[in-house]
């Protein structure tokens, strides 16, 4: 049995995986890019942002796994979507408190908001497969 909209989900997660890997590589190699772009002071410890790039890149590998076998990627995609919801919450705080300028919203637009609907649709479609795996593992 295959997931509903299988081809669509495979394309979405392939794009998400490639995007995250590219973003992660770029941010690891040029960790001051956001601060230059937003007109913020450059970081004293750019390694922290480079590390964030590494983590985002690793998420990309997980998204490629969801693309490979969409029927088994519910948990990976759920964790990804939670991160895509929590990230903007933190960014809203930074912008509202005046610590970061509004121009930093580019982070949430490209890394989070554009993926909310496709990830949520995937989770709805993949839920029956995940629920079935939960029942089998609890037997």
Domain total of the chain: 1
Residue 103 forms part of a structural domain: yes
Mean pLDDT of 15-43: 97
Measured CA to CA, the distance from residue 69 to residue 74 in angstroms comes to 10
Residue 10 forms part of a structural domain: yes
Range of the domain at 41: 6-138
Residue 130 forms part of a structural domain: yes
Residue 1 forms part of a structural domain: no
pLDDT digits (tens, 9 = 90+) for 87-138: 999 999 999 999 999 999 999 999 999 999 999 999 999 998 888 777 766 6
Q: What is the model's pLDDT at position 136?
A: 66
pLDDT digits (tens, 9 = 90+) for 43-84: 999 999 999 999 999 999 999 999 999 999 999 999 999 999
Residue 91 forms part of a structural domain: yes
Residue 106 forms part of a structural domain: yes
| C-beta of residue 85 within 8 angstroms of C-beta of residue 48 | no
Residue 64 forms part of a structural domain: yes
Measured CA to CA, the distance from residue 1 to residue 25 in angstroms comes to 36
Residue 115 forms part of a structural domain: yes
Q: What is the model's pLDDT at position 133?
A: 76
Using only C-alpha atoms, the chain has a radius of gyration, in whole angstroms, of 17
């Amino acid at each position: 049995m295959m997931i509903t909209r299988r081809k669509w989900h495979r394309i979405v997660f392939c794009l998400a995986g490639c995007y995250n890997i590219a973003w992660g590589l770029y941010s690891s190699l040029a960790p001051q890019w956001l601060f230059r772009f937003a007109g913020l002071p450059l970081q004293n410890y750019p390694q922290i942002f480079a590390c964030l790039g590494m983590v985002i890149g690793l998420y990309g590998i997980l998204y490629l796994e969801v693309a490979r076998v969409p029927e088994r990627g519910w948990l990976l995609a759920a964790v990804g979507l939670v991160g895509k919801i929590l990230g903007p919450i933190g960014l809203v705080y930074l912008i509202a408190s005046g610590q970061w300028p509004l121009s930093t919203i580019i982070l949430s637009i490209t890394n989070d908001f554009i993926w909310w609907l496709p990830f949520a649709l995937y989770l709805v479609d993949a839920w029956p497969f995940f629920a079935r795996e939960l029942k089998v593992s609890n037997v």
